[in-house]
Amino acid sequence: MQKRKLGKSGLEVSALGLGCMGLSFGYGPATDTQEAIKLIRAAVEHGVTFFDTAEAYGPFVNEELLGEALAPYHNQVVIATKFGFKNGDSKAGVDSRPERIREVAEASLKRLKVEAIDLFYQHRVDPNVPMEDVAGTVKDLIKEGKVKHFGLSEAGVVSIRKAHAIQPVAALQSEYSLWWREPEKEIIPTLEELGIGFVPFSPLGKGFLTGAINEDTKFDSTDFRNIVPRFTPEARKANQTLVDLLSKIAQQKDATPAQIALAWLLAQKPWIVPIPGTTKLHRLKENIGAANVELTTDDLNEIEIAASKIDVQGNRYPDALAKLTGR
């Protein structure tokens, strides 16, 4: 697979990464450990070198899973993980106190079985801890050789600038896709100006842009899409227009809607690296195939014109979760 550099950081990764959260957390029951290990190793064999996890996914079990699965490939892969929630529990509120960041770093190193964390993101901005203290703590961890690169997730422009002034930010991870284009307003221009890479999560709209979900789809009771306004049956019905557009382009390109959605992201900037997640081997191969789909200027214009007429329905997060973003 082609490689990309995340901004000016020099951190080089495969053009598509693998978001590993869904293997343990968020989308229903956890995948069987051995099956998950097989999937992660298959990703490596297909050229994926960038893997995304967090202490909060589980909590802790997702990091342990990656530690085991990627142990044979340590010199070939880049593992990103995150700090920023109380006791690693995403429902317990944010906590980016310097002592907590250090605790997480030590624990993550052990779970991931690595000597240094390749990319250490603040999972959500903590309004109670100055960004200068957060970035300064990670800067110290980098000096100590425990962390290689600093990242932010779902941060706003002011936080990004504050952090970057203390310790260069290698990457911002936030939601971005054809059905969530908010980052185009302020975030992407800021990242371009500062030389920061962009790692879109949910690049397939939490599965919706694959075309495999419709208004009648039922989610497992533990699947967090049950509480997402954009996934009410009414919103899904209304938003089907976007999937229809992707399907139309996909037919012209001998591709799938998911591949078009990912190829569209890759075409936006050379320093964008989407991290689609999946629990299925055939979906993994499908997603990886997106790196070979070429969208011409005419294709991109056609998508742009058609997408501009579609009003995506429903907020991407319930209010409580939305408050944690863009700070």
**∠ Cα 143 168 126 (to 5°):** 90
C-alpha–C-alpha distance, residues 80 and 97, integer Å: 20
Cross-strand partners of 223: 27
> What's 146's DSSP letter?
S
Cα radius of gyration rounded to whole Å, the chain: 19
Residue 180 structure tokens: 């969530």
Name the 3-class secondary structure at 207.
coil
Query: What angle separates helix 233-253 from helix 297-308, to the nearest 10 degrees?
Result: 160
**How many residues comprise the chain?**
327
Whether residue 73 lies in the annotated active site: no
Which is catalytic among the residues 27, 57, 121, 176?
57
Give per-residue burial for 52-80: e unless 16+ CB within 10 Å, then b. Answer: bbbbbbbbbbbbbbbbbbbeeeeeebbbb
Q: Do 151 and 120 form a contact (C-beta atoms < 8 A)?
A: yes
Give per-residue burial for 291-324: e unless 16+ CB within 10 Å, then b. Answer: bebebeeebeebbeebbeeeebbeebbeeebeeb
Pairing of strands 147-153, 18-19: unpaired
Q: Give the helix/strand (H/E) hosting 231.
A: none
Q: Write out the DSSP string of 270-287.
A: TTB------S-HHHHHHH
Cis peptide bond upstream of 274, omega within 30: no
Catalytic positions, written as ranges: 57
